[in-house]
Chain A
Amino acid sequence: MNIEKTETLNIRSGEDIVRVRQNVRTKALAIGLSLVDQTRIITAASEIARNTLDYGGGGTVQVDIVSVSVRKGLRLIFNDTGPGIPDIARALEDGYTSGGGMGLGLSGAKRLCSEFDIRSEVGKGTTVTLIRWK
């Protein structure tokens, strides 16, 4: 996988979540994602960015335009140094929430992506990677 363009944004406030959405939107347009796919990846980004802020205590997102052969994609890597997730399998279930949300953040975002990966270590933090291929 080639990385054609990369940019890192901070997630420290509610306004930052809006900025992440807008950044992802610009890049999704740039690689020519279909309208529905654009909406999917922006929505997924919004969900995970909110998790990063609310549960991870803030962090960063790296927004990459990637390619494999002629296929282009958008990859988002969210990083926080928060408390981590003790039971990832449970966190990925629909309806599970440790905060006041509807518990759709992780599982919902996963359904909106082509590829989804989550790694977490209790006490160290969480990394969530999303890819949407064209």
Chain B
Amino acid sequence: MARSKALLQGVLDKNADPLVARWVELQRKALKSGQLEASELESQSKKFVKALQSAVVSGDIESINTPAWAEVRDLLEEVTRARALQGFSPSETATFVFALKEPLFEYLRRECGKDADKLADEIMTASTLLDQIGLYTTEMYQKSREQIIQRQQEEMMELSTPVVQLWRGILALPLIGTLDSARTQIVMENLLQEIVKTEAEIAIIDITGVPTVDTLVAQHLLKTVEAARLMGADCLISGIRPQIAQTLVHLGVELNVVSKATMADALSLSFRRIGKVVIDRKTKKESGISESAAD
């Protein structure tokens, strides 16, 4: 059914200012005080009514996905994104649109006078339109939240990847906490990048701080060791806890790499590989790192 937009257009043209005033008032009632500057709310509302006006004049009021509605959509996106960022709830965000219903219907009622059929028609038209706009707002809200979550995940990933240099040519990656597949992957990529940057021959992956390892994570570890070899560096794994060793054997994952009990043992082996020795100054004797640590 094609709906006439003449009356809606007329109402918006004639009563734009009082409509905005009443709308802003209703919105302020619905929001907690201090959530939004009054001036900002007013300018947003004014802009929106203006955009709505021109979209109704030039566009199809049955679908807001048409080009004539681009300005309205952009405005909604902007308002919604800002609110999502400020931590508004979905209903607080949708209030922006739904609070417009009451004043708009009121003016439509005044225009129609006693013609009940016409009023019902007009309210139906306006309501369908506002519902569409409201749904669009919700979609935009959802999208903004997804973007925020995505960004936070990325930030967290960056935080959790410290690669440290123990000696020239020796890197260490102390892993702490539960490893999921995504985190392991990023940590490993970082390690390989760092190997190139520091020209390290040996990288020690220490998993003392990792409570459990599942098959997928074990496979990532193995993949990293293999990838490092392809690049021309050796990986050692240290700090495998007894439970993890058991899990790995049960899972049938064979860690076909050099593994050492502690990072100290791994470092000691690394020194030997790059042709360095640690000398005890008192006895002038060469000593492994684990022995001297036990003094």
Contacts and interface: CB of A to CB of B under 8 A. Distances in A.
Nearest to A36: B189
Range, interface on chain B: under 10
Contacts of A70: 143, 146-147, 150
A69 B146 contact: yes
A9 B216 CA distance: 36
Contacts of B146: 69-70
Interface residues of A, number: 3
Contacts of B150: 70
Contacts of B189: 36
Contacts of A69: 143, 146
Interface in A23-48: 36
Contacts of B147: 70
Interface string A74-117: 00000000000000000000000000000000000000000000
Contacts of B143: 69-70
A4 to B, nearest CB: 16
A70 B81 CA distance: 14
A36 B189 CA distance: 8
A69 B146 CA distance: 9
A130 B146 CA distance: 25
Nearest to B139: A69
Interface of A: 36, 69-70
Q: 4 closest A-B pairs (Cβ-Cβ)?
A: A70-B146, A70-B147, A36-B189, A70-B143
Interface of B: 143, 146-147, 150, 189
7 contacts: A36-B189, A69-B143, A69-B146, A70-B143, A70-B146, A70-B147, A70-B150
